[in-house]
Amino acid sequence: MKKITIFISLLILFACEEDKDETPPTVMITNIQAGAKLSDIVKVTVDANDNDAIALVEFFVNGALSGTSESDEAIHNFNWDTDAGDNGSYQIYAKATDESDNIATSAILSVNVINYRTANFFNTTLVPLAYQIDNEGDYKWIESGDTAKIEVPKNTSINFNATTPTNWCGTKLKWNTDIDIPDTHVLWRFWVPNNYFLLYTKNNDKVPVDYTVVNKDLTGYKTCYSDIPNDGVEHILGFYTAHTNSNISWYMKNHPDYDYWHCDGDKCTVNYLVPDGSHTDRNLYAKYHLQTPSEASDRIAVQYYDDGYIGIPSRDESSTALGGIEIVEKETIK
């Protein structure tokens, strides 16, 4: 009887061992290919199957557990926030465990994560500016008062290169700055330095202007041979070096009363007084008119632009015509 009992026990033991599940599940990431470029929140789909039942599916990023699923369905979805880490190469894979503790691991996929931030460049100048990023591609334009929005990989740096139009008689101003792009959206403001002013003209006189001279006998003397018809249309002659005694002369052939009209001294003083410190961090412009409504039809007069202050004088006459730029705020709206 004892032998029979032992024999039956052995049969039961062998039967249990034969019934034990030793078959691992199958698991694979189905919606992402190796070498894929990913950004923002990515839905990762994992297909896990077993001859019995799946107990657990896990998703890993660079060896660290990123998400788990205990669903009894074959398809498991994970939301991977790629923007939580740095840009670069990542290795992802999934692991499935069945109810018998058999484990299978999917193929390891190398993917590239690249997330962007918006670099906003606000043009405070009174003219449109042409800009280029990293000296690549064609120049694009930012109108006065507009903002250029540029998508840039986060935690990197770019070169911002901008210039005023080249078809003016005045100095061409430039911006050429290396800018670090942080892990946030960012707003930059750029402006014309205070030792330059922008010259507008409008001719309502009797005859056209033949040419204009700015800062005659002063540093930064320039002659503009652009014709200004007497049609009341506003013309931009460009940027010029600002002096406390800046002067402008308009030359006109065949004028019945004079050959040129000169703006200087007591007749029409160009004043660069700065009333308070608030004017030191922004550009101020001059706006000259050859005619204002209060003047006689044959006069040329000066009218100040905006708050009446033309600029802040700079005695550093060797300074280059390079514009200013500063960060205003981070986390600006895209």
**Tokens 């750029």, residue located:** 190
Residue 146 tokens, joined: 């507009």
Q: Pick from 80, 113, 146: which residue ends a domain?
A: 113
Q: Which of 84, 113, 142 is the last residue of a domain?
A: 113
Pick the residue with more confidence: 301 or 83? Answer: 83
| Cα 325 from Cα 110, distance rounded (Å) | 40
Residues 10 and 151 in one domain: no
Beta bridge partners of 37: 112
Round to whole Å and give the CA distance between 26 and 286. 75
Identify the H or E element spanning 239: strand 234-241
Same domain for 125 and 73, yes or no, is no
Residue 308 lies in a domain: no
CATH code of the domain containing 44:
2.60.40.10
Statement to judge: residues 283 and 325 lie in one domain: no
Rounded Cα distance between 159 and 179, Å, is: 6
What pLDDT score was predicted for residue 230?
A: 83
* Residue in 123, 119, 121, 134 with CA at minimum distance from that of residue 184: 119
Inside any domain, residue 85: yes
Give the range of the structural domain holding residue 153, as residue numbers without chain letter. 116-193+321-330
- Shared domain for 239 and 92, answered yes or no, is no
Query: Are 241 and 262 in the same domain?
Result: yes
- The structure tokens listed for 241 are 């070096």
CATH number at residue 187: 2.60.40.2890
Q: Domain boundary residue among 93, 113, 133?
A: 113
pTM above 0.75, yes or no: no
Residue 285 lies in a domain: yes
**Do 205 and 291 have their domain in common?**
yes
Are 93 and 32 in a shared domain? yes
Percent of the chain with pLDDT over 90: 40
For residue 173, give both structure tokens. 């101003």
- Judged against a pLDDT cut of 50, whether residue 142 lies above it is answered with yes
DSSP 288-307: EES--TTS-TT--EE---TT
Q: Which two tokens stand for residue 159?
A: 């070169």
Task: Please indicate, yes or no, whether residues 120 and 109 belong to a single structural domain of this protein.
Answer: no
Does 37 share its domain with 130? Answer: no
- Total domains in the chain come to 3
- Assign 334 a pLDDT band (cuts: 50, 70, 90): low
Would you place residue 297 in the very low, low, confident or very high pLDDT band (cuts 50, 70, 90)?
A: very low
Between 301 and 153, the more confident residue is 153
Quick check: is 311 in a domain? no
Which DSSP string do the residues of 15-31 spell out, in sequence order?
A: HHHHHS--PPPEEEE-S
